[in-house]
Structure 1
Amino acid sequence: MRAHEAGALHGDFTGLRPSWLTVPVDVNELHGYLWPQNVSRDDRGELTVAGHSVSELARQYGTPAYFFDEGDFRTRCHRWAEAFDFADVYYAAKAFCSKAVLRIVAEYGFKVDVCTEGEMVVALTAGIEPSNIGLHGNNKSDSELTLALKHGIGRIVVDSFDEIHRLEQHAAALGVRPQLMVRVNVGVEAHTHEYIATAHEDQKFGFSLTDGDAYAAADRIIRSEHLQLVGLHTHIGSQIFDTSAFEVSAQRALRLHARLQREHGVNLPELDLGGGYGIALNSQDDPQPPEDIADGLRAIIAEESAAAGIDQPRISIEPGRSLIGPSMFTLYTVGTVKPVRLSGGTGRLYVSVDGGMSDNLRPALYDASYSATLASRADTSTASLARVVGKHCEAGDIVVKDEFLPSDIAVGDLLAVPGTGAYCRSMGSNYNHIPRPPVIAVTREGSRPIVARETIEDLLRLDVG
């Protein structure tokens, strides 16, 4: 069964390739919507980022490596900040977490959403104001909760009755009264252009609306002398390309909001609609610009608040992928090219690179469909159907499942994969004892590592036996 997180559109196949993947007229063409704004080809056809050639960057930093177009990221932050001037924007640190990136998002007035002690400590170390940090997670440890309470973390999104009980105990012991949101499972699962309004309550996150747990959790917090309920939180999926499902989600959450107001006399000030806004990973994806997303969500909240008979709560959102995802690409070196012939006279090129599922787990985990391009030179040969694979000892170690690449792609060529800023380094591993790649920020003025490359020595240092 295909398990792509963005739904059934990725399951439409014609022969050896998906129907949306067409033979390119020019195999060297860069589709601008897939790449950071400062990525282009120079006169020789080589890929450059902010004016720096990838071959020079590869010589300096090695491959595989993630290259971060800082100017592109700043432009995206500016657009989202302007579009959502009516809302609180929480950068979702789980997409990619580093001190340098968190400091940038803070410059644009964004807050930071974290879901582990590690992410929280990185945010605090980066100088993010504790009041501008929100803590998520379905299984927060006592150390995470007490750390959040001691630092005055701005809000904690609670996910279980056990957590509420422990927060009451810790808050009483520390003499603080934390601000909490209840994560509400609204029964909406969003997948790209479709949403399913039933059968998604069988998951680990949130309190269910249908069985009354969400109301009971909110009721318990309201009645507690040590806790303060400030709002409701929802999240409906990932790689969402329109706002249709948010309408159902907001409607259901605001009905609960209205009931709490009627029965307890509380007017909750905030509603968090989560994140999951999609990015273009290949030519079939068509993400909405932030301005359109903002207009859609603003209209939905106004309409649904009026229908529920309540004042409009302040909205918060959590873009992570949509901010950082398009601002990075991964650069690999080709190590092996293997033509594979199949029955019926068909076949494809298997292009092996020096990374793989340890630096991008999403194709193996979600069957995510990425794109790729020959980066170190232009090409005049024909285009061949190819599959980009990694060097791990796994048949499922696939980086790009279907792509047209130059038929003469060769050992030593550089290959670039766009859209890897989100959930690639974050989900990175040391499988087969391969050190994780660095993250290199690139601007017109130069380049610098913001996350260092791991080394074999790092791995041996942890192996204390």
Structure 2
Amino acid sequence: MLNEDLKINQEGHLLFGGADTVALAKQYGTPLYVMNENRIRKICNMYKQSIEKCYHGNGLPLFASKAFCCKEICRIMNDEGMGLDVVSGGELYTAMQAGFPPERIQFHGNNKTTEEMKYALTCGVGHFVVDNLTELHTLDNLAGCMHGHANILLRIKPGIDAHTHKFIRTGQIDSKFGFALETGEAMAAVKEALQAKNVTLTGLHCHIGSQIFEIQPFLLAAKVMLTFIRDIKAETGAELQELNLGGGFGIKYTEQDQPVPYDQYMEQVSKTVHSCCSEYNLALPKIYIEPGRSIVGESGLTLYTIGAVKSIPNTRTYVSVDGGMTDNPRYILYQSTYEAIVANKAEKPRDYTVTIAGRCCESGDLIQEHTPIQKCAPGDILAVLSTGAYNYSMASNYNRVPRPAVVFVKDGSPRVAVRRESYADLVQNDL
């Protein structure tokens, strides 16, 4: 089993967070996203404790809501004293509807619209993470017109290749995100921001990528960013007081993945931060981090009902499920790896090699190829593990397929957090 939240009961059924997944599928239907609230809260608490230990409480972990965004997860993050990282007006609206304190929200995005910036100013978000000069100038003008003010961080490209999938590397120079250090663009942006009338530059932000297993890229990013803060102080006299080091910590999708415990990431990075601040004669900045996948990824799984089982001699066996790329597009996008278990036969050996096929009218609609599961038949329940991040949030209505429900499990007891879409929901905006 990938983690301690997965067990098998006396009936041979897969348990997740203490709940029988076969019973969940029967009660709520499939496809079904299941989230383990206890695990989510446990990881949030670990990040909070790490900030307390490593930075004497002078910091805040921000949940990267793009990984999984609904009102219930925003409520849980508020309960746990977390901040939020939002990347759109829709994510911000969701947070506000859930009653999340706007001062603990940082608003990201490389092309925020004027309407989104107005809305965020009206809400009173804690920080805008400014990506480019167009945004800086627009935000400054909007804040002035609205008789308001905005605190900003500048997103910096630290020039680090984090050895992850090319689509999820974001810290190197050739990236659509942020200001480059190598070209002088970043320093020029700092100087413009310091001269702006209606925004205050409080710090810097970086993010080097996602699903990273090595500690060294994070250590290097911290050093690069603090060196830049030193250079800003030397050149402008301004000492920035906040530093957001982003997220990207890897999770365990398969048994081959071996992520470093997240508190070890935190401890090692903090040593670099303290060392650089001492060497450069800088005050320790307030530290933000942005865990998303590491909080919800392994805290979720998706349940499907198996339909057709089609064997092609000497080629492969297709096991079709009642979902696919509409609820999990990550395989077709990134060839992402997953492990799967036949939930009602979890005690049996996984010695049946199959390709898990989705229901969409696309040959690429697959969830996994040549993967071991238990011998299965139509009507069995298939659990695909570690789907809590970037599955629900990337789901679509392609082929006019309704999106699944989301059920949270706490101490073995389930509750619906997002209702299953109906056919009526699909046409509600049609004229």
Q: TM-score, normalised by structure 1?
A: 0.87
Inter-CA distance 105–380: structure 2 relative to 1 (3 Å threshold): closer
CA deviation map 1:18-65 (0-9, x unaligned): xxxxxxxxxxxxx143xxx44311112111234432222112110000
Aligned equivalent of 1:452, options 402, 405, 419 = 419
Once residues 373 and 333 of structure 1 are traced to their aligned partners in structure 2, the CA distance between those partners, rounded to angstroms, is: 12
Aligned equivalent of 2:45, options 78, 93, 99 = 78
**Structure 2: gaps spanning 5 or more residues:** none
Quote the residue 1:18 is aligned against: none
Aligned equivalent of 1:437, options 404, 407, 426 = 404
Quote the residue 2:368 is aligned against: 400
Kept in 1, the 8 Å contact 2:13–2:20? The answer is: yes
Aligned equivalent of 2:107, options 130, 135, 138 = 135
Once residues 139 and 198 of structure 1 are traced to their aligned partners in structure 2, the CA distance between those partners, rounded to angstroms, is: 15
Alignment of 1:57-206 (within 5 A): 57-85=24-52, 86=55, 87-191=59-163, 200-206=172-178
Residue 413 (str. 1) matches residue 380 (str. 2) = yes
User: RMSD value over aligned CA atoms?
Assistant: 2.1
Once residues 172 and 289 of structure 1 are traced to their aligned partners in structure 2, the CA distance between those partners, rounded to angstroms, is: 45
C-alpha displacement of 1:261: 0.9
Inter-CA distance 188–404: structure 2 relative to 1 (3 Å threshold): same
Once residues 293 and 368 of structure 2 are traced to their aligned partners in structure 1, the CA distance between those partners, rounded to angstroms, is: 19
Quote the residue 2:355 is aligned against: 387
Once residues 178 and 260 of structure 1 are traced to their aligned partners in structure 2, the CA distance between those partners, rounded to angstroms, is: 21
What secondary structure, in the 3-state scheme, does the structure 1 residue paired with 2:67 have?
Answer: coil
What secondary structure, in the 3-state scheme, does the structure 2 residue paired with 1:447 have?
Answer: strand
What secondary structure, in the 3-state scheme, does the structure 2 residue paired with 1:387 have?
Answer: strand
Matched to 1:139, the amino acid is N
CA deviation map 1:365-385 (0-9, x unaligned): 011111101101246567122
Quote the residue 1:348 is aligned against: 316
Once residues 427 and 295 of structure 1 are traced to their aligned partners in structure 2, the CA distance between those partners, rounded to angstroms, is: 32
Once residues 92 and 169 of structure 1 are traced to their aligned partners in structure 2, the CA distance between those partners, rounded to angstroms, is: 28
**Structure 1: gaps spanning 5 or more residues:** 1-30
Once residues 371 and 267 of structure 1 are traced to their aligned partners in structure 2, the CA distance between those partners, rounded to angstroms, is: 47
Question: What percentage of aligned pairs have identical amino acids?
Answer: 38
Once residues 57 and 199 of structure 1 are traced to their aligned partners in structure 2, the CA distance between those partners, rounded to angstroms, is: 41
C-alpha displacement of 1:451: 0.9
Quote the residue 2:246 is aligned against: 274
What secondary structure, in the 3-state scheme, does the structure 2 residue paired with 1:351 have?
Answer: strand
Quote the residue 2:272 is aligned against: 300
C-alpha displacement of 1:288: 1.6
C-alpha displacement of 1:363: 0.7
Kept in 2, the 8 Å contact 1:177–1:226? The answer is: yes
Once residues 129 and 74 of structure 1 are traced to their aligned partners in structure 2, the CA distance between those partners, rounded to angstroms, is: 18
The structure 1 segments of at least 4 consecutive aligned residues displaced by more than 6 Å after TM superposition are none
Once residues 339 and 403 of structure 2 are traced to their aligned partners in structure 1, the CA distance between those partners, rounded to angstroms, is: 21
What secondary structure, in the 3-state scheme, does the structure 2 residue paired with 1:79 have?
Answer: helix
Quote the residue 1:357 is aligned against: 325
Matched to 2:248, the amino acid is G
Inter-CA distance 74–146: structure 2 relative to 1 (3 Å threshold): same
Inter-CA distance 258–92: structure 2 relative to 1 (3 Å threshold): same
Once residues 378 and 448 of structure 1 are traced to their aligned partners in structure 2, the CA distance between those partners, rounded to angstroms, is: 24
Once residues 222 and 100 of structure 1 are traced to their aligned partners in structure 2, the CA distance between those partners, rounded to angstroms, is: 38
Q: TM-score, normalised by structure 2?
A: 0.94
